[in-house]
Structure 1
Amino acid sequence: MDPHLLRTFVTVARHESFSVAAHELGYTQSAVSQQIAALEADLDVLLLRRRPVVPTDAGRRLLEHAGAILLRLDAARADVRRVSGGQPVELRVGISPMADSGRLVERLVEVQRSMPRVAVTVSACGADEVAAGVARGELEIGLVDGVTAPSDPLRVVELGTFTTVVVSESPLVVVLPRDHPLAARGVLRLSDLADARWIDAPGAAVPLARLRVVADGFRSGLRYDGAERSVLLAMVAAGGGLAVLPAPVAREGVAAVPLAAPALVHRTELVHGSLTGPAAAIVAGLGFGVR
């Protein structure tokens, strides 16, 4: 299967338009049509209906595989470039919103001072985006975070032959208004809180979708699409709802009660491929243990 044809198919399916896909890819519409026809001939199956442009059952099944296939190809290409290339003049780092980034940021500053010609760029985005950016070679280093059982890996996109380094693990706490009836409890269980009103803040707290995996309920009150913890805590203090956050949490007007069950932790992990130059210096100086 030609990966160029597969990428064209994914683009057409995403836009549900041959003309829009052609504009994005820099081809003529006729060239895009020919590439889709060539892929269908190779697989001997119709992948897209033309009016309207929607995937067939076979097309939808191919789309389930296509993302992982293209990501692995991008990862292989990026890894080869890293091994064979010279020292980069730019160091690109991705950090997910709730990652424990203190030690990495300190090390970035140290290395940038010792290598002033290296431009350091830090981007904030979701954990899956960071991991995919590292895999594609768009980022040299990624810092991802998430909630998991103590013995389980984080649920991020598959990276293939990449190195994962544990940076930190923190217990979780339930954050409530100081005057909430449960604020004086020594510990709380998620099953006791399923009927409470929650703030859905996927960038600043444990996402409600993750909590619903381990317990029923969790109706959303307010939604916060930002990543500033101070804003979220102000919403909790005002009675907007509850939230689950990594410890520690300190703010006037809120209480942070340890989460006893289920057994979950907030983990930050460093991910990278083959390292050279400034990226290698960063990781070597951190002193984290490789998993």
Structure 2
Amino acid sequence: MDPHLLRTFVSVARHGSFSGAARELGFTQSAVSQQIAALEADLRTALLTRRPVAPTPAGARLLEHAGPLLLRLEAARAEIAALAAAPTTRLAVGVSPLALTPGLAGALAEAERRHPGTTTTVRVLGRDAIPAAVAAGKLDLGLVDGATAPSDPLPLPDVAPLTTVPVARQPLAVALPAGHPLGRRPGLRLADLADARWLDAPECGVPLDRLRAAAGGGFRPAAGYHGADVRGLLHLVAAGHGLALLPHGAAEGAPGVVAVPLTAPRLVHRVELVHLALPAGPAALVAELTADAPHG
């Protein structure tokens, strides 16, 4: 299967038109039509209806495969290009909102000291976006976080043969507004909070679907918070809009918020470093120093 044809098919399906795909890819509409016809001939089945333009059942199934396949190809190209390229002083790092650790900040400073002229960019991205950006070569390094059992690695998407290294680990705590009836308890069980009012904050709190999986249901959101600013989330908690599950260090000491340790199930907040093969240079040094940082 020609990956160029597959990429064209994904573009047509996403835009719902041949002309939209042509503008995105820089082809003529006729060329796009010919590429789709060639792919359909190769697979011996119709992949798109024409009026309206939409995936057939076979096309919808192909779309499920197409994203991972194309990302794997991008990852292979990016990794080989990085290994073959001359040393670079570019350093692009992606972090999820709760993954920026003191160890990373120190490692970046040391890399700039040892490699003068290094241009460092740190981008805050969603948890799911970081492995894909590393695989595609848009980031040299990524730091992702999540809630896991103490001995389990983070469940990352299978986008490329990424190297993952544990960086930090700390307890989780339930963030409640000051004066909440449960705020004086020494610890809280997740199952006892399944019917409470929760904030749905998938990027800067433990996602509610993770809580449902851990507790066996419940956890209907009272309000949604789609952003990367943890302080904003804690302001909503303080105002009584709902509870949130966060690393203890992120919730403790916030104005108007009480952080009560989670006692069951046994979950921790874990941060991992992800990267492809790294040639010698600032990225490799940051990876080495960050992995060697004390695990919290």
State yes or no: 1:191 paired with 2:191. yes
Cα pair 1:74 1:136 within 8 Å, conserved: yes
Aligned pairs for 1:124-203 within 5 A:
124-203=124-203
- 1:183-238 deviation per Cα after TM superposition (whole angstroms, max 9, x unaligned): 11122111111111111122221122221222322122222222222222221112
State yes or no: 1:260 paired with 2:277. no
State the shift of 1:96 in Å. Answer: 1.0
What is aligned with 2:91? 91
What is aligned with 1:272? 275
The gaps in structure 1 that reach 5 residues or longer are none
SS at match of 1:174: strand
- 1:36-93 deviation per Cα after TM superposition (whole angstroms, max 9, x unaligned): 1100000001111111111111111111111111111111111111111110131111
Q: How many residues align?
A: 289
Paired letter, 2:266: A
State the shift of 1:264 in Å. Answer: 1.5
State yes or no: 1:250 paired with 2:250. no
The gaps in structure 2 that reach 5 residues or longer are none
Cα pair 1:100 1:167 within 8 Å, conserved: no
SS at match of 1:127: coil
Paired letter, 1:269: E
- 1:239-283 deviation per Cα after TM superposition (whole angstroms, max 9, x unaligned): 111110011221232211111222221111001111121111222
Paired letter, 2:222: G
Compare 209-218 and 133-142 and name the one that shifted more. 209-218
Compare 272-281 and 146-155 and name the one that shifted more. 146-155
Aligned pairs for 1:1-291 within 5 A:
1-215=1-215, 216-248=217-249, 249-276=252-279, 277-288=281-292
Paired letter, 1:153: P
Compare 126-135 and 277-286 and name the one that shifted more. 277-286
Deviating 4+ runs (over 4 angstroms): none
Percent identity at matched positions?
57
State the shift of 1:123 in Å. Answer: 1.1
1: distance between equivalents of 2:151 and 2:289? 26
Paired letter, 2:93: V
1: distance between equivalents of 2:58 and 2:151? 37
Paired letter, 2:271: T
Cα pair 1:166 1:288 within 8 Å, conserved: no
- 1:169-190 deviation per Cα after TM superposition (whole angstroms, max 9, x unaligned): 1111111112111111122111
Cα pair 2:165 2:291 within 8 Å, conserved: no
1: distance between equivalents of 2:160 and 2:17? 32
State the TM-score, normalized to the length of structure 1. Answer: 0.94
1: distance between equivalents of 2:204 and 2:79? 32
Cα pair 1:142 1:270 within 8 Å, conserved: yes
Compare 71-80 and 147-156 and name the one that shifted more. 147-156
2: distance between equivalents of 1:284 and 1:245? 27
RMSD value, Cα: 1.5
Cα pair 2:165 2:274 within 8 Å, conserved: yes
SS at match of 1:157: coil
2: distance between equivalents of 1:18 and 1:44? 20
State the shift of 1:287 in Å. Answer: 4.5
